[in-house]
Amino acid sequence: MPEKKQDSFTVTDRRLFTPEGELRKDAAEEQPPAPKPAAQPASGALQAPAAPETAALEPETPPAPSAAEQQEQADAYRKSSKDLDRRVELGGHSAKDLEMTFERFMASLYMTAMLQLGLMHEEGGQPRIDLIGARQTIDTLSLLSEKTKGNLTAAEANFLQNCLYELRMAYVEVTNALAHPPQAPVKGTGTS
């Protein structure tokens, strides 16, 4: 078969949002394609078992909200945030204290991991240890470190690396303490 030569092509930006996070005006509402029904074998025909597909192993996800639904929700979120900001300002505080920054996000994950390691607890509460949760939180910070490499300020990168260092050390100390608890002296073997 002779190959057809294509001289040009068209690139279409199908992203729904602008770099500022606003819904693009020209974004078309798109629905994901409907899954194709599996072909039915002819009656009486023997068929080998189908190989499992990776898509079949993944849980089904609901369809994405339409562009109009996303815009409506974004508008409602902004309105609710402005209402909260006004209440905070009336209370004598600055709404700037509510803004999420990268450092605040890292600090939130750091505090979560410290709670999960049982090294911090709510006032009046008992420490609870969740090693799996702590490990996942530390791994999340590690993943963020890898994925944001080259995109952080020096202060942000330093803060992230310090968080990771402290949390990894704390994790090792807690897991070692749990694996090798201190031994109580055996009565009658010590000198008085």
Per-residue tens of pLDDT for the chain, all 192 residues: 556 666 666 766 677 767 666 776 765 555 445 555 555 545 444 455 555 555 556 678 888 899 999 999 999 999 998 888 888 888 888 888 878 899 999 999 999 999 999 998 888 888 899 999 999 999 999 999 999 999 999 999 999 999 999 999 999 999 999 998 777 776 765 555
Task: Name the DSSP class of 16.
Answer: S
Handedness of CA 141, 147, 160, 94 (dihedral sign): negative
pLDDT at residue 134 in the model: 96
CA distance 50 to 27: 39
Q: Report d(CA 6, CA 4) in Å as an integer.
A: 6
Give the angle subtended at the CA of 73 by the CAs of 68 and 74, to the nearest 5°. 95
Question: Which DSSP symbol is given to 99?
Answer: -
Q: Where are the domains of the chain?
A: 100-180
> Residue 141: CB partners within 8 Å, gap ≥ 6?
106, 109, 110, 113, 160, 163, 164, 167
User: Can you give the pLDDT at residue 3?
Assistant: 62
Residues 144, 151: Cα–Cα separation, whole Å: 11
Give pLDDT, residue 137: 97
User: Tokens 């999340």 — which residue?
Assistant: 140
Q: What is the pTM of this model?
A: 0.57
For residue 136, the model assigns a pLDDT of 97
pLDDT of residue 97: 80
Neighbours of 145 (CB within 10 A): 16
